[in-house]
Chains A and B, each alone.
Chain A
Amino acid sequence: MSLDPVFTPAPERHVLMKALANRSFLIGLVVTGVIALMALVSFFWTPHDITRLQVAARMQGLSPAHPFGTDHMGRDILSMIMIGARNSIAVAIVAVGIGMGLGVPLGTWAAARGGWADEALMRVNDVVFAFPALLTAVMITAIFGPGAVNAIIAIGIFNVPVFARIARAGALSLWPREFILAARASGKGKALITIEHILPNIVSLLLVQGTIQFALGILAEAGLSYLGLGAQPPMPSWGRMLFEAQTRMAVAPHLALFPGLAIVVTVLGLNLLGDGLRDVLDPRLRRER
């Protein structure tokens, strides 16, 4: 059994069957799906309008009208969480997108090019990794002004070297493989080989890392929002809801409970999905002895 990090894939139909039989994957898929659905529905409908504040109805407990209660501005917490999911997912997706969009071309290019390009990329990676991620994200948002866009950039920047590194490692382990040599013997250039042979074979690797970074992105966004550096009102965000709940925890603990649970459930769902994907796509980790 080879030890290279690239997965030996099974045929596509097979993968789907295996995936649906995998418990982690299934639970993760369902949980993530529910959260995503919630975010989608919130575009068209939420239980209550949260743009018009009803301060008089503030901090109400759980009731049929407000299943999760109301916050300190009298807004319906369930509606806030639904719209907040939108924000969390958008920030995390775009941040992962930035990471993949820049990191994967960089990493595969470095692996194909080798030599100084590879060395340069790795050194740049060293510099980025030497900066404490969360703190730098705080600095970026503080410098350029708090807001969802800057939060995305701040989180996205740190995804770039992660994906560059993974894509490079995956590509490097593939380049000496015989099927790549065969392609080279067929006169294909590095760019074409990267597109035809390298990318399809590291896609599952990237997918798994993608779900992990997605989950980390949600946590990071929550952290930044908690510090007041994420999405700004009136756009609700889970992190800021927690921050606002903190002073009121003794009076209205449900203010902190539900946004916190929303984060935990979403991240848990994504992690399960990632674990499941890994199990399904990487038979190496499944071998028993």
Chain B
Amino acid sequence: MTAYLAKRLAVGLATLFVASLVVFSVLEILPGDPARIMLGMNASPEALDALRSQMGLDRPVVLRYLDWLTGMATGDFGRSYTYSSPVVELVAERVAVSLPLAVMALTLSTAIAIPVGIFAAARRGRLSDTLAMGAAQVGVAIPNFWFAMLLVYVFAVGFRLLPAGGFPGWGEGWGGLWQGFKALLLPAVSLALPQAAILARVTRSAMLEVLGEDYIRTARAKGLPRRAVLWRHALRNALIPVLTILGLQFAFLLAGTIIIENVFYLPGLGRLIFQAISQRDLIVVEGVVMLLVASIIVVNLLVDICYAVADPRLRTGR
């Protein structure tokens, strides 16, 4: 297993390196001069030149790449061109929104989807199964931003139960925490619903797949009733494809919340990068993309570890 994980880790690091090359070279060809953006329409050429050399934009590309790379290795992602503050600080502030949001959405979707999936598989072909899977089918088809729009108008504008958007920060004490939680609730729900629909379908089909295996018959031949077979034998085996999807969804949630962040004007990573792209704040874009790539690699690694925990066949050999 260590060999397996070591290989995955090595591949992950190589991927990260290649990604850094791709990201840097692609962003270098971006049109737009950050100095011009910072100083605006009426800025004088001298002022622009002064700012450019202040930001190090007049240095050769290769040198800038190497600086950037060594900087990242030591935790220094550079300074934002637009917000003259370190990229690390900016990102840290945004992660404080994006990560809890992703975790909330994932928790919510898992909490809904897995029981529904198991339930539907256990009651295959009955009305409850048909209804649950019909709902899931529709859920998969709903664009999350449209769902978010509907939620805002019902719960924020209509009933005024929850904020329509924005993020007050995590604040002090339980009250502050509650405020932050409330602000993330609607976004989390709108992210979670389509995810839950997919997950429920995957769970159900994974369960059905497993329920058709020979060892399920062996377990039944031992005299275990259906329910015990479902929980003791089928679930853990069905978990493996479910884990794959969970890993993918978490990776999606970390970065793919960009539209939802726009709907709820949350200061998350997605919007940071969206803004940074439009303001040609290259260093921020590069930093955030690398961070996301790294976190996706880490998530995949975690999924690999979970596989090994769930499936003893991966622990030895292979």
Contacts and interface: CB of A to CB of B under 8 A. Distances in A.
B210 to A, nearest CB: 11
A140 B211 CA distance: 44
Contacts of A222: 143
Contacts of A285: 205, 208-209
Contacts of B217: 289
B141 A131 contact: no
Interface stretch (B11-19, B45-53, B59-67, B88-96): B11-19
Interface in B241-300: 251-252, 254-256, 258-259, 262-263, 270, 273-274, 277-278, 285, 289, 292-293, 296-297, 300
A250 B11 contact: no
Contacts of A260: 143, 146, 149
Contacts of B216: 289
Given A130-B19, A134-B255, A285-B205, A246 B149 contact: yes
A267 B296 contact: no
A126 interface: yes
Contacts of A266: 141
A215 B141 contact: yes
Interface string A59-71: 0000000000000
Contacts of B15: 123, 126-127, 130
Interface string B185-226: 000000000000000000001001101100011000000000
Nearest to A124: B18
Contacts of A226: 143, 145, 259
Contacts of A268: 137-138, 140-141
**SS class of chain B's interface: helix, strand, loop or mixed?**
helix
Contacts of B285: 139
A133 interface: yes
Contacts, number: 121
Contacts of B274: 138, 142, 227
A142 B270 CA distance: 14
Interface in A243-261: 246, 249-250, 253, 256, 260
Contacts of B289: 131, 135, 139
A134 B143 contact: no
A287 B11 contact: no
A239 B255 CA distance: 20
Interface residues on B, range: 35 or more
Contact of B141 (A138, A253, A263, A289): A263
A264 interface: yes
B149 A249 contact: yes
A271 interface: yes
Interface in B1-51: 11, 14-16, 18-19, 22, 26-27, 29-30
A270 to B, nearest CB: 8
A121 interface: no
A133 B19 contact: no
Given A123-B15, A138-B277, A133 B211 contact: no
A210 interface: no
B306 interface: no
Nearest to A122: B11
Given A130-B293, A143-B277, A271-B140, A287 B212 contact: yes
A99 interface: no
Given A123-B11, A123-B15, A289-B211, A130 B141 contact: no
Given A123-B15, A132-B296, A267 B255 contact: no
A160 interface: no
Interface in B113-164: 137-138, 140-143, 145-146, 149, 153, 157
Contact of B297 (A130, A133, A246, A275): A130
B157 A250 contact: yes
A206 B270 CA distance: 32
- Most A CB contacts (10 A, CB to CB) among B256, B262, B278 go to B256
B252 A133 contact: yes
A131 B15 CA distance: 10
Contacts of B143: 219, 222-223, 226, 239, 242, 260, 263-264
A127 B19 contact: yes
A267 B139 CA distance: 10
A272 interface: yes
B273 A135 contact: yes
Given A246-B149, A260-B143, A127 B262 contact: no
Interface string A10-47: 00000000000000000000000000000000000000
A227 B149 contact: no
Interface string A202-236: 00000000000001000100110011000000000
Interface of B: 11, 14-16, 18-19, 22, 26-27, 29-30, 137-138, 140-143, 145-146, 149, 153, 157, 205, 208-209, 211-212, 216-217, 251-252, 254-256, 258-259, 262-263, 270, 273-274, 277-278, 285, 289, 292-293, 296-297, 300
Interface of A: 123, 126-127, 129-135, 138-139, 142-143, 215, 219, 222-223, 226-227, 239, 242, 246, 249-250, 253, 256, 260, 263-268, 271-272, 275, 285, 287, 289
13 contacts: A132-B251, A134-B256, A135-B258, A139-B26, A142-B274, A142-B278, A223-B143, A223-B259, A227-B258, A246-B263, A264-B138, A264-B141, A264-B143
In order of increasing CB-CB distance, the 8 nearest A-B pairs are: A132-B255, A267-B141, A268-B141, A260-B146, A135-B255, A134-B256, A142-B277, A264-B141
